[in-house]
Amino acid sequence: MRGVKILSTGMCVPKYKLTNEKISTFIDTSDEWIVQRTGIRERRIVTDETTVSLATNAAKEAIKDIDPLEIDLIIVGTVSPDQMMPSTACSVQAEIGATNAIAFDISAACSGFIYASKIAIEAINCGSAKKALVIGAEIFSKVVDWNDRGTCILFGDGSGAVLYGETDENKILAFDVGSDGNLGQTLVLENQPINNLFVKNEYSPSFIKMDGRAVYRFAVNVVPKSITKALEKAQVNIDEIKLFVLHQANERIISSVAKNLGVDINLFFKNLDKYGNTSGASVPIALHEAKGKLKNGDKIVLAGFGGGLTWGSMVAQW
């Protein structure tokens, strides 16, 4: 089996900062409520950016030290693409000139980056790629109902990218991933309904629907178990982990996971105060911003969870 390591990272967020105060001017909420329940203070939302442009800019930063022709595989985790076809990954491929790559999107919501990383790393492990670019890119500002205070305050737009490459000494130590479709209806983003010769449905654009409490319970239950399983597979003791980079959904979820694992909360990276929940983009954005804290050889845990329901944890060495 060929070894894999993280070669580089990149990120891109829209220019416009939407603060809690600004949201409070058009719906019945307050900065105090949002900060207390979620830890979020502001989020970025697009003005002239697109899912492809955010993903392309994050990708360009991650691949700035290599020739794009060296990239064999591009996977984008997104549930908010600009269009279903061509895929976001194919559009990014064209933008960065990675003409030797195969490119496709996957749909695993806020676990999208971890799922895509697993696919990319296994492709390198088995020799079908040497360099793989994994991107999480989302524009949730177009899929939330701006009249629903229970959801619109949570999400933001952005993209993060990680370049993985083949290496002699393997630095990706283990994964634990899972899905539970039975809980799928707790977090839903509908697509266009069927309209064909036989079936007629009314179509009106739909927005994210969420049972916030159920999703919260799911996250605080499944994430510590998943991290523990991944650490067991990696044969790494939790005390050896220098940094935990979790999906940035809610500060209270991160605190609960830290408490459940018996780990100091200061070892959990947080930037959700600035960006909110950027779904599939949140883990690679957080990793990009956290990397200044990491030294060569440091062991880290990345973890995502969300729609599907899906979850995934990865243990790696920087």
List residues with catalytic annotation. Answer: 110, 247, 277
Determine if 13 is a binding residue for ligand COA (CB under 6 A): no
Please name every residue paired with 165 in a beta bridge, in sequence order, or none if there are none.
5, 131
Query: Which x/- pattern, by CB under 6 A, does the window 287-316 give for ligand COA?
Result: -------------------x----------
Find the shortest distance in angstroms from Cβ 279 to ligand COA.
7
Within positions 263 to 282, which residues make up the interface with ligand COA, using CB under 6 A?
277
203 neighbors 292 (Cβ within 8 angstroms): no
> Distance between CA 246 and CA 259 in Å, rounded?
14
Determine if 20 is a binding residue for ligand COA (CB under 6 A): no
Q: Which one among 153, 246, 257, 316 touches ligand COA, defined by CB under 6 A? A: 153
Within positions 24 to 43, which residues make up the interface with ligand COA, using CB under 6 A?
29, 33-34, 37-38
Find the shortest distance in angstroms from Cβ 1 to ligand COA.
32
Contacting residues for 70 by C-beta, under 8 A, at least 6 apart: 100, 130, 131
The residue among 175 and 216 lying less far from ligand COA, judged by its C-beta, is 216
> Distance between CA 143 and CA 209 in Å, rounded?
10
Determine if 249 is a binding residue for ligand COA (CB under 6 A): yes
The residue among 92 and 253 lying less far from ligand COA, judged by its C-beta, is 253
Q: Which residue has the tokens 């990680």?
A: 162
Within positions 73 to 132, which residues make up the interface with ligand COA, using CB under 6 A?
110
Determine if 16 is a binding residue for ligand COA (CB under 6 A): no
Determine if 213 is a binding residue for ligand COA (CB under 6 A): yes
Find the shortest distance in angstroms from Cβ 308 to ligand COA.
10
Q: HSE of 263 in the Cβ direction (CA atoms, 13 Å)?
A: 24
Find the shortest distance in angstroms from Cβ 170 to ligand COA.
30
Exposed, middle or buried by CB within 10 Å (0-12, 13-18, 19+), for 83?
Answer: exposed
Find the shortest distance in angstroms from Cβ 230 to ligand COA.
19
Q: Kindly give the pairing relationship between strand 157-167 and strand 131-139.
A: antiparallel
Determine if 284 is a binding residue for ligand COA (CB under 6 A): no
The residue among 189 and 315 lying less far from ligand COA, judged by its C-beta, is 189
Determine if 215 is a binding residue for ligand COA (CB under 6 A): yes
Q: In the chain, what are the helix, strand and coil shares in percent, each to the nearest 5?
A: 40, 25, 35
Widest Cα–Cα separation across the chain = 60
Q: Which residue has the tokens 């995934």?
A: 312
Please name every residue paired with 73 in a beta bridge, in sequence order, or none if there are none.
102, 132
Please name every residue paired with 268 in a beta bridge, in sequence order, or none if there are none.
244
Find the shortest distance in angstroms from Cβ 34 to ligand COA.
6
133 neighbors 71 (Cβ within 8 angstroms): yes
The residue among 200 and 217 lying less far from ligand COA, judged by its C-beta, is 217
> Distance between CA 245 and CA 271 in Å, rounded?
10
Q: State whether the Cα torsion 46-51-56-58 is positive or negative.
A: positive
Site of interaction with ligand COA (CB under 6 A):
29, 33-34, 37-38, 110, 149-150, 153, 210, 212-213, 215-216, 249-250, 277, 306
